[in-house]
C-alpha cells in the first residue's frame, strides 16, 4: 500500500506477534467517512500490519515496544493521499467527524511525534513526493513533503550542473522533507548550510478544515507581517499538514577539505570551535567529542575534533586556514578520522540489541549559548552519572553556530542483575529510569536558559517540559492551536498541548 522505506531491523523484532498485541480502544473512523474517501480515490488500509507500521517511530519507547512485539497505539486506519487536494479532503472530512489525524511519513522521529496515541487516522504522506519545480537562477526547488532525503539529493544532483540541499541528517535514508520541516530538523552539515528553517523559503500547508494556503516563498525576504512559514515550521502537524516546501538549494561544491585534532579537554575544544566561528569561518562539519566518545568512536585519547568543509576553493582555503589557527595548540590527527566518521555516522544498529539486553539507551540534543555550554555539559554529565543504574554518559558538540552550539548527550542505564521481580518489574524499572534521566537532564538545561531541543523536536517525550521552556509563550501557542484547529483533530497529544481526547499515556 505504501512506498515507505523499509524499517531497520531494530523495529522489526517481534513483528510476528503484532496482531495479538494490537491495543483496543482507539478512536474509530466512521464507515461513512471511509466510504467517502474511497469514492474520492484516496487509498485506505486497515490491516494489522499496516496499522502496526504506522504506530511507532524511532522513539526508544517504540523500540522497546517492537522488542516485545507490542503495538500499544495503533491507528484505526491508515490513509495515503497522493495530492494536496486529497489531503484537504481527508482533513475536512475528519474535522467534520471529530476524528484525530496523525501525520506520518518516514517514521524516523525519536520523540514519538508520529505515534497516533488516540487512534483515528494515520495520514501517510509518502505519496506526496518528488522534485516538482526547479528555479536554477534563484536556486529554489519545490519539493513534495513525502520525498525521502536520498531521492531528493539524487534528483537535485542529476539536474543541470548538479545541486544539493546540504541537509544530511543521521536519519537521511528514512526521513522526508515534511518530517524535517515538522521537527525543525538539522543536517550534519548545518554549520555551512543552516538548519531546515534556514533552507525553507515557503510552504504549502493544509489546515484542519481543509483550507490550503501557501506561506511566503515569493521573494528572498519580505516585510509582510509575521512569517507564517516559521509558524508552521516545528509545529509537528499540530497546526496544519505540510504538503510541499520551497527549498533553498546550492550548487554542488567543487572542493573539499578535512582536518582532525585532539584536545586535552572538552572545554578547550569548545573554545576552538567558538573562535573559528567568531572569525566568520563556517565549516560544514565541526564536531567535538568528549573523552568517552573519542575512545568509543575513534579509539583515541583526549577530545577529538573533526572538521569537514565543502565550498568554492577560495572560500575553502580561507576556512581551513582559520581552523588551523584556532586549533594550533591541539594535537593534529590523521585526516582519515573524518573518513571513518563519514562511514559510521548513520549507524544505529546497536539500539535494538541494547534494548533487547535490557539496557535503556537514548540521546538528548539541546542547544545553548557559548557562554553556558561548558558548564552545561559538565553538569548534565554529572547529573546523569548520579542516577542509580546509569552505566554510561557522554557528550559531543554536533552543530555549531556563531552564537552557540548543540550538545548531544548519550546515556545508558541497566537494572541490577540481582534485583529480581520478573519481566514486569524489569519493564517498570526501565520506564522509571528513562523518565528520571530525561527529567534530570532537562532540569539542568532549563536552569542554564538553554533550548530543550535543537533538532529532534518535542513529540510526546518532551511534551511535559514545553510549557516551562516557553513560559507565557506556551499560552500563545495554545491559543494559535485553538484558532487553527478548534476541533483539536491535528496530531493530538503532542507538544504538550491539551487534547480533547485526553492526555497522552506516555512517558
Across the range 373-394, mean pLDDT stands at 98
Structure confidence by residue, pLDDT tens digits, 186-204: 999 999 999 999 999 999 9
**Comparison of pLDDT for 155 and 8, the residue scoring more:** 155
Instruction: Confirm if 99 and 27 have CB atoms less than 8 A apart.
Output: yes
Cell digits for 435?
Answer: 523518565
Which residues on neighbouring strands pair with residue 259, listed in sequence order? 307
Instruction: Confirm if 284 and 308 have CB atoms less than 8 A apart.
Output: yes
- Looking at residue 170, the DSSP 8-state letter turns out to be T
Across the range 65-94, mean pLDDT stands at 93
How do the residues of the chain divide into helix, strand and coil, expressed in percent and rounded to 5? 40, 25, 40
Instruction: Confirm if 14 and 66 have CB atoms less than 8 A apart.
Output: yes
Q: List helix spans (H) across 105-145.
A: none
pLDDT for the residue numbered 507: 63
Report how far apart, in Å, the C-alpha atoms of 458 and of each of 110, 112, 468 are: 9, 8, 13
- Looking at residue 490, the DSSP 8-state letter turns out to be B
Sequence-separated (6 or more) residues with CB below 8 Å from residue 317: none
Average confidence score pLDDT of the chain:
93
Across the range 125-132, mean pLDDT stands at 98
**Comparison of pLDDT for 429 and 6, the residue scoring more:** 429
3-state SS, one letter per residue, for 182-244 = HHCCCCCCHHHHCCHHHHEEEEEEECCCCCEEEEECCCCCCCCCCCHHHHHCCCCCCCCEEEE
Instruction: Confirm if 169 and 94 have CB atoms less than 8 A apart.
Output: no
Work out the percent of the chain whose per-residue pLDDT is above 70. Answer: 95
Measured distance CA(171)–CA(108) in Å, rounded: 6
CATH fold of 131-251, please?
3.30.465
Pick the CATH number of 255-344 from 3.30.360.10, 3.90.230.10, 3.30.70.3450, 3.10.129.10: 3.30.70.3450
Sequence-separated (6 or more) residues with CB below 8 Å from residue 350: none
Query: What are the boundaries of each domain within the chain?
Result: 9-124, 131-251, 255-344, 353-447
Q: Could you count the other beta carbons within 10 Å of the beta carbon of residue 311?
A: 21
Instruction: Confirm if 492 and 100 have CB atoms less than 8 A apart.
Output: yes
Res 133 pLDDT > 50: yes
Res 13 pLDDT > 60: no
> Is domain 9-124 given the CATH code 3.30.43.10 in the classification?
yes
Q: How confident is the model at residue 21 (pLDDT cuts 50, 70, 90)?
A: very low
Classify 281 as helix, strand or coil. Answer: coil
Residue 16, classified by CB atoms within 10 Å of its CB into exposed (0-12), middle (13-18) or buried (19+), is exposed
Sequence-separated (6 or more) residues with CB below 8 Å from residue 436: 387
Res 271 pLDDT > 90: yes
> Is domain 353-447 given the CATH code 3.30.300.330 in the classification?
yes
Structure confidence by residue, pLDDT tens digits, 417-469: 878 888 888 888 999 999 999 999 999 999 999 999 999 999 999 999 999 99
Measured distance CA(202)–CA(142) in Å, rounded: 9
Structure confidence by residue, pLDDT tens digits, 338-380: 999 999 998 877 777 887 788 999 999 999 999 999 999 999 9
Cell digits for 74?
Answer: 495503533
Q: How confident is the model at residue 70 (pLDDT cuts 50, 70, 90)?
A: confident
Across the range 240-251, mean pLDDT stands at 98
Across the range 136-164, mean pLDDT stands at 97
Measured distance CA(231)–CA(239) in Å, rounded: 9
Q: Look-up: residue for cell 520525498?
A: 147
pLDDT for the residue numbered 18: 38
Amino acid at each position: 500500500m505504501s512506498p515507505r522505506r523499509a524499517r531497520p531491523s531494530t523495529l522489526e523484532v517481534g513483528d510476528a506477534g503484532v496482531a495479538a498485541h494490537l491495543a483496543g480502544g482507539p478512536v474509530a473512523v466512521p464507515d461513512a467517512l471511509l466510504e467517502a474517501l474511497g469514492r474520492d480515490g484516496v487509498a485506505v488500509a486497515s490491516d494489522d500490519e499496516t496499522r502496526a507500521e504506522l504506530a511507532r517511530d524511532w522513539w526508544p519507547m517504540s523500540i522497546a515496544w517492537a522488542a516485545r512485539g507490542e503495538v500499544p497505539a495503533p491507528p484505526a486506519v491508515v490513509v495515503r493521499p497522493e495530492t494536496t487536494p486529497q489531503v484537504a479532503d481527508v482533513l475536512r472530512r475528519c474535522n467534520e467527524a471529530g476524528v484525530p489525524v496523525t501525520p506520518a511519513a518516514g517514521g524516523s522521529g525519536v520523540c514519538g511525534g508520529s505515534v497516533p496515541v488516540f487512534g483515528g487516522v494515520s495520514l501517510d504522506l509518502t505519496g506526496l513526493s518528488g522534485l516538482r519545480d526547479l528555479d536554477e537562477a534563484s536556486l529554489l526547488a519545490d519539493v513534495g513533503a513525502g520525498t525521502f532525503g536520498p531521492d531528493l539529493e539524487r534528483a537535485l544532483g542529476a539536474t543541470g550542473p548538479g545541486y544539493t540541499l546540504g541537509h544530511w541528517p543521521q536519519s537521511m535514508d528514512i526521513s522526508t522533507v515534511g518530517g524535517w520541516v515538522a521537527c525543525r530538523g538539522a543536517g550534519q552539515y548545518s554549520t555551512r548550510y543552516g538548519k531546515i528553517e534556514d533552507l525553507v523559503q515557503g510552504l504549502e500547508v493544509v489546515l484542519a478544515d481543509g483550507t490550503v494556503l501557501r506561506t511566503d516563498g515569493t521573494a528572498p525576504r519580505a516585510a509582510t507581517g509575521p512569517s507564517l512559514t516559521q509558524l508552521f515550521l516545528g509545529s509537528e502537524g499540530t497546526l496544519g499538514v505540510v504538503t510541499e516546501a520551497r527549498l533553498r538549494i546550492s550548487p554542488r561544491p567543487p572542493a573539499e577539505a578535512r582536518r582532525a585534532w585532539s584536545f586535552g579537554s572538552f572545554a578547550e575544544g569548545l573554545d576552538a570551535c567558538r573562535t573559528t566561528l567568531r572569525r566568520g569561518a563556517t565549516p560544514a562539519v565541526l564536531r567535538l567529542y568528549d573523552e568517552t566518545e573519542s575512545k568509543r568512536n575513534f579509539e583515541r585519547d583526549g577530545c577529538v575534533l573533526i572538521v569537514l568543509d565543502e565550498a568554492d576553493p577560495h572560500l575553502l582555503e580561507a576556512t581551513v586556514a582559520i581552523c588551523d589557527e584556532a586549533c594550533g595548540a591541539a594535537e593534529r590527527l590523521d585526516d582519515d578520522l573524518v573518513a571513518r566518521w563519514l562511514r559510521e555516522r548513520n549507524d544505529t544498529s546497536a539500539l535494538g540489541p541494547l534494548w533487547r539486553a535490557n539496557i535503556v539507551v537514548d540521546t538528548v540534543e539541546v542547544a545553548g549559548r557559548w557562554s553556558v555550554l561548558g558548564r552545561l555539559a559538565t553538569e548534565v554529565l554529572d547529573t546523569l552519572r548520579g542516577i542509580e543504574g546509569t552505566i554510561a554518559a557522554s557528550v559531543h558538540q554536533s552543530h555549531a553556530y556563531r552564537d552557540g552550539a548543540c550538545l548531544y548527550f548519550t546515556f545508558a542505564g541497566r537494572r541490577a542483575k540481582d534485583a529480581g521481580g520478573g519481566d514486569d518489574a524489569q519493564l517498570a524499572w526501565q520506564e522509571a529510569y528513562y523518565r528520571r534521566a530525561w527529567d534530570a537532564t532537562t532540569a539542568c538545561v532549563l536552569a542554564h536558559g538553554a533550548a530543550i531541543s535543537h533538532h529532534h523536536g518535542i513529540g510526546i517525550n518532551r511534551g511535559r517540559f514545553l510549557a516551562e521552556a516557553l513560559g507565557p509563550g506556551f499560552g500563545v501557542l495554545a491559543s494559535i492551536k485553538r484558532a487553527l484547529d478548534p476541533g483539536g483533530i491535528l496530531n493530538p497529544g503532542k507538544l504538550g498541548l491539551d487534547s480533547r481526547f485526553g492526555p497522552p499515556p506516555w512517558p
